[in-house]
Chains A and B, each alone.
Chain A
Amino acid sequence: MNQNDKDTIICRCEDVTLGDIRDRIARGEHNLEEIKRSCRCGMGPCQGRNCTPLIAKEIAAATGKPLEEIALPTFRPPTTAIKMSALLGVKKDD
């Protein structure tokens, strides 16, 4: 891997590089849940919309597993970022 590839940012929210992801995969973290927890990729404001498919491809390439077999991390609500203030009073109206 050349230096450029290494420094490519995979997760823009949390500044995780391709080099970092490849190191983790090489260390045996072959699962998106584990990688997410160890380096925070996918935990930022976009919640993995950009980086998750890219990391899944990296795992597939490194392990030889078909892409469809790489389990996606649990999808967590809320669907998009939501202001606390928007949640106030909701229950009373219900």
Chain B
Amino acid sequence: MIKSADIVVIGGGVVGCSTAYNLAKLGAGKVVVLEKKYLASGSTGRCGAGMRVQWGTETNCLLSRESVKMLSHLPEMLDVNIDIEFHQSGYLLPAYTESMVEQFKKNLVLQNSLDIHAKWLTPEECLDVVPFMSLKGVLGATFCAEDGHCNPFKVTEAYATAARNLGVEIYTNTEVLNIESKNGKILSVHTASGDIATNTIVNAAGGYSKQVGRMVGVELPIFPERHEILVTEPVEPTLGPMVMSFYHNLYCQQSPHGSFIMGLGHPNEPETFNIKSSWQFLCDMAERVVEILPPLARLNVIRQWAGLYDMSPDRTPILGNTPAMERFFTAAGFSGHGFMISPITGQLMAEIVLGKPTTFPTQMFDAGRFERGELFKEPLVV
């Protein structure tokens, strides 16, 4: 294994790979990625694969808008021959209460001001998009045709391949066990296959980012939370858009492959590294999804699994340095939507690490905001 590096990225998920590529592209010198299992083995490979530009805060709208633009031509942008299965089939977000209607209409004003073409649909108009959905309780919905999905394994592979083409070294099956530091400066990272001397680390360890922070005495307010998900047998294409109901706390989408993928958020999920599947989820999921999309009752569920959301107190990521340790940068706390914003996240991280002017202002992602009480709470999450 290499003995020293200018920058070590910890974590081979989509965020670590995107960051490593962008660092190399901006001429960061020797960049190394260390991944304890294989690429996309963490949340990235367990996620719902959805991408949407319909958000409730300006920051999330901008991050996702720019990322979707990049995903739309990612293979050309990265000069790799990998199909990332990019599909824009829209997201339908139905509203079931007056306060949801009010919030959604506020979101539309924000989104439209940012050149995001989401629009309001009456219940009848919802049927034009999803003819078999139940209108029970539906007061209307927002819809954005630019939303959709792409394949997280392929996006990660695309970034990893492009990064390697620029000289990045990626070590899989290589867990960072410890980080050596002295007087607030990083000296090296320690793995079972040897040490790498470095003064700069990017912590992109997802649900494990708090543990990595602790290796240098930095306490990040990020905690892991299990989220479950299931997939059905593949059938003929019938459902175009992702249907996401914040009222039922669920999302459901048919993949290009024909299978339906769906998940839901559980309000009482404790902080844990547990990623076991439960029968309770299976039953809750079936119950709630059939209420909204009745014909799905006839489908066979073939597999369920779970992954970790890396939760932050305001469900907005932490991107940047922590004052307690020089050149220890974190890109984590994505709270369930880190895949879709990974292209711009990698770019911003590279700019931050290299001290270049950033594409957007990034002070709202500063880890110190929680102590200062400046939270940027995102209302639109499952």
> Which residues of A does B touch, CB under 8 Å?
31, 33-34, 37-38, 40, 43-45, 47, 74, 76-78, 81-85, 87-91
Contacts and interface: CB of A to CB of B under 8 A. Distances in A.
Contacts of B299: 83-84
Given A37-B45, A83-B298, A88 B290 contact: yes
B287 A88 contact: yes
Interface of B: 38, 40-41, 45, 153, 157, 231-234, 257, 277, 279-280, 282-287, 289-290, 296-305
Given A33-B38, A34-B38, A83-B299, 20 more contacts: A38-B157, A40-B257, A43-B231, A45-B302, A47-B303, A76-B304, A77-B303, A81-B300, A81-B301, A82-B282, A83-B300, A83-B301, A84-B286, A84-B296, A84-B300, A85-B290, A87-B301, A88-B283, A88-B297, A91-B280
A31 B299 CA distance: 31
A65 to B, nearest CB: 14
A34 B160 CA distance: 15
The winner among B40, B289, B300 for most chain A CB atoms within 10 A is: B300
Nearest to A90: B283
A83 B234 CA distance: 13
Given A31-B38, A84-B286, A88-B286, A44 B280 contact: no
Nearest to A81: B300
A88 B297 CA distance: 9
A45 B300 contact: yes
19 contacts: A33-B41, A34-B38, A37-B153, A38-B157, A40-B257, A45-B300, A47-B302, A47-B303, A76-B277, A76-B304, A77-B277, A84-B290, A85-B286, A87-B283, A88-B283, A88-B290, A88-B297, A89-B287, A91-B287
Given A45-B300, A81-B302, A82-B300, A87 B282 contact: yes
Contact of A77 (B289, B290, B298, B304): B304
Nearest to A29: B38
Nearest to A48: B303
A37 B282 contact: no
A77 B285 CA distance: 14
A75 to B, nearest CB: 10
